[in-house]
Structure 1
């Protein structure tokens, strides 16, 4: 009988213990590869929060701060940009389109973003995905609003419903624009980006809310401007918070960026979204590395369980080893049997772990897409994942050396007679 067949029969003879060992390693492998898959997809989703935009322009500050308030709607700008400056840069021959962003108001903790219809035409995320409506349409009236998927889900809003916006970004604001209610004209499909938690209205809508405000102070009683009267006023914005820029050719990106950063009329900053997102990920990506480390420790615990199972069975198998010696097996053959057992556990655990992972991915993919806006790709393992599995198999073989060497020494000491 060949050594390989003998090793397989030995494992089959202890099938319950072997099965439990394989399952424990499989769960560990599935966890490790699952965390790695989620880590990669989360990073891709993060870096694809905004796509197809060549530059983001705002008041001079840090690039990360500009990215936070203009894309993630976190924090506030150090200053606004005048309409003349925005229109001047937008008129550059290399500029294809611009999307203005105006912040300042909120609704029950969700940021209100003033913009124009260019947002629905040119904004892209996750590569080249546009904003798509789950219900309704883009704003067309002065008091129309488009809400993100999270706003609709968490607040239970539907199209046609009226909402009241408030000044500032607090959850509960004492300065409500209750005299100018907005009607929900559309609800966006989930994107997995900050757009899910935004309320989009027109720039003119932002101006209408504050037409009777002066220097940031609420209107004086008796001097308010009604919603109907505001329709007849000039509501072109004097300033915006930031704007996105799309170029006709990316060859002009650095030239226009330098021109904006050296703009003489205002202190401006233009950043490349991809670069700023990578910088921000370096700050917030520590948690995913820690999670990957925890998963690696779980794999180590599974392999340690394998080592414990093999070591525990050695004393029970000394009679088996003696019988093998009596039929001509050498100590080296005993060593091979134990090493093959470790290799079998690692290979079977990796295979079963992958099957378990892909089964979970098939179940979790639509749930993650619908609830989190996170797309989990179901594809063959990448190079890094293959490297992780090779590392697991190598670690199993290294750990398998301990029981294999012990069995080797026992077989030399026992010979054909078991020594207790």
Structure 2
């Protein structure tokens, strides 16, 4: 066996360029598959990381996925708001541990504004139950304080105590410029939609919308902040709420109560279940990408067969010399298999090294730029099985050129 391995290595080194191109082709194919699979799982983990905070999402009756997207990911727009009284009925429910009210609708330079209270900073968590942390500053204290996500601070170059003006709606045409806000805190990077949020208090949103109707401001006498704070600032409506139930076995009970609520048309969705339904739709794209990558690997293996086949006629003299020095047809057969095995092992090792290098370089970029957090790992059990399948398949497909070499050595009769 040692002699077969030695001869195989010598033979491959004698055809450096052709073999190197074959190894590179197979290496890139395997790396592509491993990278796509890692990105797929990482994206899924990042999305599911956003739904770790509560057990239910309360909102107006619409689609489950729509409610999930605009309340947790700030994607899309809500169909209707829910009344503050309806929200309080469930916020004060004996089975409810805590709630986070959410009010959406305004923006600041294309970043969504989220109205809430300090419960958001206390209870909102993500990815393995991590809590929000401040890079600088602190939570909301005064009426016109604002806390911004890391992407907002970085993109707009904001620092503590900078003044910002909120726009009415998602455009920047109608501004609430009579009520400037002051940056009170900047959150650390989370890799979630929170990084792109401008967070203000519900009371502040109530104040800046007091003289607005149907998207336009109604001229009125300007009041001081002290006068405004004396007014009734209890929100009339909110967009949604995140609800945490004391006992997990009561989740479905509370969900039914919300869905059957008679005073208002409400809906409660379980974030994990709703996101799973969304991911079933996205999984079609995943499967297409994995199928394309699989075809690339198959084409590389076909290329391996083609290389071994194309060299058989040129190596006929080499095989004849091996027979002269005592090699049997079985040895010739084993030699071809060993060459394919060495090529496959080199490709797999190179692909693992390339994937690890890309992980070190690309993972921080994906986290910073796109909010896709990928945990660094060597290779998973699933990846190991996949690599073993590639190795086994490459040896199996090389049997055909090896058999041809076996027949040639017999026909040559040496």
Under a length normalisation based on structure 1, what TM-score does the superposition of the two structures give? 0.92
CA contact (8 A) 1:208 1:227 kept: no
Match of 2:29? Answer: 28
Match of 2:333? Answer: 335
Pair 1:391 & 2:389 matched: yes
SS in 1 for 2:343: helix
In the TM superposition, residue 350 of structure 1 has moved relative to its aligned partner by 0.8
**CA offsets per residue over residues 346-371 of structure 1, 9 Å max, x none?**
12211221122112222333333333
Q: 1:291 aligns with which of 278, 289, 305?
A: 289
Question: What CA distance in whole angstroms lies between the structure 2 residues aligned with 1:221 and 1:90?
Answer: 36
Pair 1:162 & 2:163 matched: yes
Which sits farther off after the overlay, 119-128 or 42-51? 42-51
Question: What CA distance in whole angstroms lies between the structure 2 residues aligned with 1:294 and 1:160?
Answer: 51
Question: What CA distance in whole angstroms lies between the structure 1 residues aligned with 2:52 and 2:28?
Answer: 36
Match of 2:198? Answer: 199
Consecutive unaligned residues of structure 2, counting only runs of 5 or more, are none
Question: What CA distance in whole angstroms lies between the structure 1 residues aligned with 2:282 and 2:14?
Answer: 50
Question: What CA distance in whole angstroms lies between the structure 1 residues aligned with 2:17 and 2:105?
Answer: 64
CA contact (8 A) 2:4 2:338 kept: no
CA contact (8 A) 2:255 2:268 kept: yes
Question: What CA distance in whole angstroms lies between the structure 2 residues aligned with 1:94 and 1:273?
Answer: 18
RMSD over aligned CA atoms reads 2.0
Question: What CA distance in whole angstroms lies between the structure 2 residues aligned with 1:167 and 1:284?
Answer: 33
CA contact (8 A) 2:207 2:233 kept: yes
Question: What CA distance in whole angstroms lies between the structure 2 residues aligned with 1:65 and 1:17?
Answer: 54
Which sits farther off after the overlay, 122-131 or 307-316? 307-316
Question: What CA distance in whole angstroms lies between the structure 1 residues aligned with 2:348 and 2:163?
Answer: 55
Question: What CA distance in whole angstroms lies between the structure 1 residues aligned with 2:240 and 2:4?
Answer: 72
Match of 1:76? Answer: 77
In the TM superposition, residue 303 of structure 1 has moved relative to its aligned partner by 2.6
Question: What CA distance in whole angstroms lies between the structure 2 residues aligned with 1:287 and 1:406?
Answer: 41
CA contact (8 A) 2:211 2:220 kept: no
**CA offsets per residue over residues 76-101 of structure 1, 9 Å max, x none?**
22222211111111111221100000
SS in 2 for 1:98: strand
**CA offsets per residue over residues 195-244 of structure 1, 9 Å max, x none?**
11111100001101111224x35333245556554233221101111100
Q: 2:322 aligns with which of 296, 306, 324?
A: 324
In the TM superposition, residue 148 of structure 1 has moved relative to its aligned partner by 1.3
Match of 2:272? Answer: 274
In the TM superposition, residue 15 of structure 1 has moved relative to its aligned partner by 4.2
CA contact (8 A) 2:166 2:177 kept: yes
The 5 Å alignment of 1:183-194 reads: 183-194=182-193
Which sits farther off after the overlay, 325-334 or 60-69? 325-334
**CA offsets per residue over residues 149-191 of structure 1, 9 Å max, x none?**
2212222222211111111112x32x21111111111111121
Match of 1:105? Answer: 106
CA contact (8 A) 1:212 1:225 kept: no
CA contact (8 A) 2:168 2:215 kept: no
Q: 1:248 aligns with which of 246, 249, 268?
A: 246
Q: Mark the CA change 1:323 to 1:342 in structure 2 (over 3 Å): closer, same or farther.
A: same
In the TM superposition, residue 258 of structure 1 has moved relative to its aligned partner by 1.1
Match of 2:344? Answer: 346
Question: What CA distance in whole angstroms lies between the structure 2 residues aligned with 1:34 and 1:220?
Answer: 55
The 5 Å alignment of 1:20-419 reads: 20-170=21-171, 172-173=172-173, 175-214=174-213, 216-223=214-221, 225=223, 229-416=227-414
Question: What CA distance in whole angstroms lies between the structure 1 residues aligned with 2:314 and 2:321?
Answer: 13
CA contact (8 A) 1:325 1:415 kept: no
Q: How many residues align?
A: 413
Question: What CA distance in whole angstroms lies between the structure 1 residues aligned with 2:89 and 2:232?
Answer: 21
Consecutive unaligned residues of structure 1, counting only runs of 5 or more, are none
In the TM superposition, residue 318 of structure 1 has moved relative to its aligned partner by 0.5
Question: What CA distance in whole angstroms lies between the structure 2 residues aligned with 1:100 and 1:304?
Answer: 58
